[in-house]
Structure 1
């Protein structure tokens, strides 16, 4: 039963939210006013969280996919006893505050995911639900359910318009993620006006087609109906969508219109809204009865559930010591002592494609690290991302470690974010490099949230050949390097590929992008002698023969071997240059100045970069006097060797480019003495 204090609590959420927005002079009052009832019912009757320990692994997750409604979430966190004070609410949307304009994971406790780009919250929640059911299958016993929680989402019309919502919902339905429950704030209004102008989907038929359970609550203020719908959803064998019909900006003079979506109400309408809600308190004031209700319904209930879980865990540790130890290792992200023992090692020889080396590494890691899992967007056989010793994660094989994302690159990347946010596993996912564009929005959120996910992007360049320009990445490499907070690694040979994986597995604060070849990569002498080269981002892989180098050739990936070949030919013409392998720009720039100066001495200004991609960005390393050889157009279809030759990626072309640079220098400088061969 719900009483007057419950309704007062709902209005307290509404009042706090619009006070925050009015004080900030910006924000979105529409959702907090209409969705406060569903948020209150969820937190007070269903969501199991402990504000005293916000990172408790077996807590329920809540993702506000409609992140523009952040004022509602912050108000809820404050009343629920999380570390969000009234002072924090008063700093809503202010610089360096704990209450930014959209929810940001890590800024304030109780925010389970960074949201705002619509649709991604829903897709991250799918990943969270995948992680929960996978860990449950690994660690639960018939007697003890140490991993057993729900993942809840609040989304709006805009979320369900975004294409990623289709991808994610389809995947969740196929996997029968029955502990995923979505509260759909169905108010028929978006930023520009009524949704009927652009959006006439039948939610019931749509989600029935995804094999979801569907319910509808006709009145968004009916607390009992919302409660009953959530209770029923928790008992289903499928993911659940509860469509709750609301009036955007409920209580405001302009309710039901887009005018209350994304701007403060203004003092006049703010006062009118509070009168319509029967709210008489001063701004940022919460009645004692409301505070008491939240203390008992959220704080005490959640803390008691946490204490009971801790007691159950203690028993689990006694009765299942091996599983308990493995669970602890998974939750702390601690790698086994011998996790590197069976990684492949390479000596000089023919080598192999980058994706093949990665495949061997994946098998070695999977054998040592039970929490390691991943897959691809229906390209596992080409990306070489299958774990051979495991089956496919599915509705009936939750413990399996191969993730089949289907042809859903955006949902794949967002689900990986959700898996990482949940905790307890190391996740990777792959596709062709050119299709990383489909994932970019989710990669950005991974970087923003400092998530240690690993992307395996194969078919890295024009060497794809016959598949032609639609499948040949040109701008993707530099585009991802331009994104803050990620490490993009393009290995030059098998040893660099192994080192790249080693770096990815020991990185806990950012995503790692592995850009791998389909073409063969020979084992290079320099990678054998400098095992820390990749972790430093760049290193001298082939030094000059005598004294100070006349020039520097800088390359990444398969072009490093080409640079070494050009180096050998240049020596025949008296040019003694050194070759630098630059697999990871950001790691190199993080090195001490002295190390960077050793690799790229500033007095050596004659520099040439080689890379099968756009040259924008290489000026950082070649300087104003250098030359960048790359691709400034899209590719072409044909045998790989012919395509590369046509685009000037041959040793002869590199030699000619360097000699041209040398001649240009010597028109205005005293000729340098040629090295003696």
Structure 2
């Protein structure tokens, strides 16, 4: 059935704002907003629970534009429905300093729930948001008191469904039965290179039905069909829904509808004129918003206010009946950590045999699980290896919707995006775990976590050639260097069990970006501690583990993770050679760089130029700490398959290598 005259006017207002924004910027993607305007209009005016005047209201529905190239669609919707996004910002689309960047960015534009652009990331992130809603609802809702009750919607594209992450994430969501996850698929059959007939001919409906999704196919320009489909999707509570919306990219453009030319380029002045005439647009002035349309859209302000007020009232009733749960709920939402955390961190006795830092991490997780009761996570089918299961609370879904150990399956990319989604949703302290080498499969999600400044935690074990016999395919060599190059990522590679305890504390306290805990497979000695080298100094990124005998050391030995022990041993051997050494533990470059100049000079005094670093990874980047006259002991080739003790000797990552490097520096 055709839309009403007013509805059509509103839809065309979305279209023309999008067209004009792209044209003024002379850059962007007009076709998708033109094609999906009908679907977006129905969703936003009839179903989406949101408050434009309080974008962060907790129980709002989450909306994700996974097809982030169509960003003018969400910017038009946000402006029209009354968010703090002015028409001037719409006119400044893709310009320096505007709130309307080329792809939606979390934290920049009110109402944008996650950064999208790399296709498939929004799809995967939405799965994490739906997991959070499901878990928190099961945890806090009572039979007649639902304080967690919202949907996660997304508009996804052909490109999203082609990307590998969509396969992982869709499989995960279907297995978990996330009934409040509804994706609206813009099936316009056009990508940059032309018709999807040249690349994408699978039966999407059958594919998603095989994933255990509820699938509905509709005409994406028929408002009655759109309304019925969303209502049907909302009624299906035991599986996620995909609404396949058959649409026309560049809808209404006489010469560019259904053509790739409308995908990623402005329509052009003449085509815009013809398109607006096809819409029956009487006023051809750019960025024109009819009063009747704006009045209709701005109904969202009052509706949103009323929805939030109803929730606030329900929350007060909940507090009166369930005071303990209400207090816990508010604390979880605040992201505040318990004052008891420090007291619950395990302290490990000095032990020459020690334990692997992955094993120590597992002990930390289970020591703090009750003082961080919203700690929630798991691994990519590696729980036994990464030691990341939370004991005593069961598995999420398999045992209970309130289970705290998540089985993500062999889906690192989907896991990374889901962890980000949980962190963005709020109320959770989420983590995901895998072998360090497999960050290659989750790098886009780590990068977006850094860009968005969200506190995702990634536990990455088997961190070097120290994993041994599995060989070079599983031995990360370049990964520390490459991830250290990524802005706003905090990496910690602890040297023993006690450093691991405080590395976890640093991760939990980092609220402005992702933290990577890089841990060993092999045992590490639990080191001697005193007041001057307490493990809590991990949070400074680097500290003096063992001081020189003189006021100024002859050399500084810098070790990270499993290699600190070799620096400690080298200090004793160098003493026999008459060299007075200082040993520095440097578990985190990023935390060290946050310290003031005085502290950094204290740890690494500029006058000491004989410096040696030792790390079982690429030496790339270490020059910033060892200087031009220093030496880095590491590995700059791929590994080998052999017991790890043999590998360390084979690649020269040994105490003797550290000693020789110091002496060679002295001989220069």
When normalised by structure 2's length, the TM-score is 0.98
Residue 161 of structure 1: CA displacement? 0.2
Counterpart for residue 148 of structure 2: 147
Q: Which of 378, 392, 402 pairs up with 1:389? A: 392
Counterpart for residue 103 of structure 1: 104
The answer to whether 1:202 aligns with 2:203 is: yes
Structure 1 window deviating more from structure 2 (162-171 vs 514-523): it is 514-523
Within a 5 Å distance, the mapping from 1:130-145 to structure 2 comes to 130-145=131-146
The whole-number CA distance in structure 2 between the counterparts of 1:91 and 1:50 is 24
SS across alignment from 2:639: coil
SS across alignment from 2:343: coil
Residue 341 of structure 1: CA displacement? 2.4
**1:55-89 superposed Cα distances (whole Å, 9 cap, x missing partner):** 01110000000000000100000001100110110
The whole-number CA distance in structure 2 between the counterparts of 1:60 and 1:392 is 26
The answer to whether 1:188 aligns with 2:192 is: no
Within a 5 Å distance, the mapping from 1:118-517 to structure 2 comes to 118-217=119-218, 219-236=219-236, 237-252=238-253, 253-281=255-283, 282-296=285-299, 298-350=300-352, 351-394=354-397, 397-517=400-520
The whole-number CA distance in structure 2 between the counterparts of 1:600 and 1:628 is 15
The answer to whether 1:547 aligns with 2:548 is: no
The whole-number CA distance in structure 1 between the counterparts of 2:403 and 2:164 is 28
Q: CA 1:177/1:267 → structure 2, altered by over 3 Å: closer, same or farther?
A: same
The whole-number CA distance in structure 1 between the counterparts of 2:176 and 2:398 is 5
Q: CA 1:153/1:527 → structure 2, altered by over 3 Å: closer, same or farther?
A: farther
Counterpart for residue 592 of structure 2: 588
Contact 2:633 2:657 in 1 (8 A): no
Contact 1:339 1:368 in 2 (8 A): yes
The answer to whether 1:559 aligns with 2:560 is: no
SS across alignment from 1:368: coil
The whole-number CA distance in structure 2 between the counterparts of 1:604 and 1:286 is 67
Q: CA 1:527/1:197 → structure 2, altered by over 3 Å: closer, same or farther?
A: farther
**1:475-496 superposed Cα distances (whole Å, 9 cap, x missing partner):** 0111111100110000011111
Q: Which of 521, 536, 539 pairs up with 2:540? A: 536
SS across alignment from 1:367: coil
Counterpart for residue 14 of structure 1: 15
The whole-number CA distance in structure 1 between the counterparts of 2:509 and 2:181 is 31
The whole-number CA distance in structure 2 between the counterparts of 1:131 and 1:286 is 38
Residue 339 of structure 1: CA displacement? 2.6
The whole-number CA distance in structure 1 between the counterparts of 2:650 and 2:555 is 26
Residue 302 of structure 1: CA displacement? 2.1
SS across alignment from 2:167: helix
SS across alignment from 1:225: helix
Residue 527 of structure 1: CA displacement? 7.1
Residue 332 of structure 1: CA displacement? 0.6
Residue 288 of structure 1: CA displacement? 1.0
SS across alignment from 2:51: coil
Contact 2:229 2:243 in 1 (8 A): yes
Contact 1:392 1:401 in 2 (8 A): yes
**1:318-353 superposed Cα distances (whole Å, 9 cap, x missing partner):** 011000000000111112232332221023223211
Contact 2:573 2:659 in 1 (8 A): yes
Contact 1:526 1:542 in 2 (8 A): no
> Where do 5+ consecutive residues of structure 1 fail to align?
665-677
SS across alignment from 1:200: coil
Structure 1 window deviating more from structure 2 (339-348 vs 386-395): it is 339-348
Structure 1 window deviating more from structure 2 (476-485 vs 524-533): it is 524-533
SS across alignment from 2:85: coil
Contact 1:124 1:415 in 2 (8 A): yes
Contact 1:527 1:533 in 2 (8 A): no
Residue 395 of structure 1: CA displacement? 6.6
The answer to whether 1:613 aligns with 2:614 is: no
Residue 659 of structure 1: CA displacement? 1.2
Counterpart for residue 629 of structure 1: 633
The whole-number CA distance in structure 2 between the counterparts of 1:471 and 1:266 is 51
When normalised by structure 1's length, the TM-score is 0.96
Residues paired across the two proteins, number: 662
Within a 5 Å distance, the mapping from 1:647-658 to structure 2 comes to 647-658=651-662
SS across alignment from 2:369: helix
The whole-number CA distance in structure 1 between the counterparts of 2:625 and 2:398 is 50
The answer to whether 1:44 aligns with 2:45 is: yes
The whole-number CA distance in structure 1 between the counterparts of 2:627 and 2:577 is 24
The whole-number CA distance in structure 1 between the counterparts of 2:372 and 2:633 is 41
The whole-number CA distance in structure 2 between the counterparts of 1:72 and 1:132 is 26
The whole-number CA distance in structure 1 between the counterparts of 2:28 and 2:654 is 56
The whole-number CA distance in structure 1 between the counterparts of 2:399 and 2:589 is 43
Structure 1 window deviating more from structure 2 (124-133 vs 358-367): it is 358-367
The whole-number CA distance in structure 2 between the counterparts of 1:530 and 1:660 is 32
The whole-number CA distance in structure 2 between the counterparts of 1:396 and 1:83 is 43
Task: Give the ranges of 4+ consecutive aligned residues of structure 1 lying more than 6 Å apart after TM superposition.
Answer: none
Counterpart for residue 117 of structure 1: 118
SS across alignment from 2:216: strand
Contact 1:495 1:527 in 2 (8 A): no
Q: CA 1:160/1:28 → structure 2, altered by over 3 Å: closer, same or farther?
A: same
Contact 1:355 1:384 in 2 (8 A): yes
Contact 1:433 1:460 in 2 (8 A): yes
Residue 526 of structure 1: CA displacement? 4.9
Contact 1:489 1:514 in 2 (8 A): yes
Structure 1 window deviating more from structure 2 (387-396 vs 199-208): it is 387-396
Contact 1:248 1:257 in 2 (8 A): yes
Contact 1:68 1:101 in 2 (8 A): yes
SS across alignment from 1:635: coil
**1:364-396 superposed Cα distances (whole Å, 9 cap, x missing partner):** 221222211110000011100000111111177
SS across alignment from 1:340: helix
The whole-number CA distance in structure 1 between the counterparts of 2:56 and 2:350 is 48
The whole-number CA distance in structure 2 between the counterparts of 1:442 and 1:560 is 30
SS across alignment from 1:533: helix
Counterpart for residue 668 of structure 1: none
Structure 1 window deviating more from structure 2 (160-169 vs 545-554): it is 545-554
Contact 1:249 1:261 in 2 (8 A): yes
Residue 506 of structure 1: CA displacement? 1.1
The whole-number CA distance in structure 2 between the counterparts of 1:341 and 1:163 is 43
